[in-house]
Amino acid sequence: MSSAFVRVCGLSELEEDTPKRVELDGTPISVVRTEGEVFAINDICSHANVSLSEGEVDDCHIECWLHGSRFDLRSGKPDALPATRPVPVYPVKIEGDDVLVSLTQES
């Protein structure tokens, strides 16, 4: 995987607590602006292979809409069953209005 940061969207395109699905080098990513920060987490639930970007964001967590698993946006770790495996999270940089993500995993 590349460690280079790539622009995935504009900061102005991100609504607070509303996930945005993007693809970077074939990897589906959910980009989330919440609590004054921007996070990038793999968009596929580790339990049911569905898109996390279709779920709700609350308290720095994203919830899978299908079975209710919740993942911490900072670490990717699940804190609600049925998911037991974390999903990858990726480093984010903000440069002006550009949101940049690197596929180098943080966890």
Per residue in 6-61, pLDDT tens? 999 999 999 999 999 999 999 999 999 999 999 999 999 999 999 999 999 999 99
Q: Report the pLDDT value the prediction gives residue 80, as an integer from 0 to 100.
A: 87
> In 3D, which of 78, 99, 103, 73 has the Cα closest to residue 91?
103
Q: What is the pLDDT of residues 73-89, one digit of tens each?
A: 999 999 989 999 999 99
Q: pTM (2 decimals)?
A: 0.92
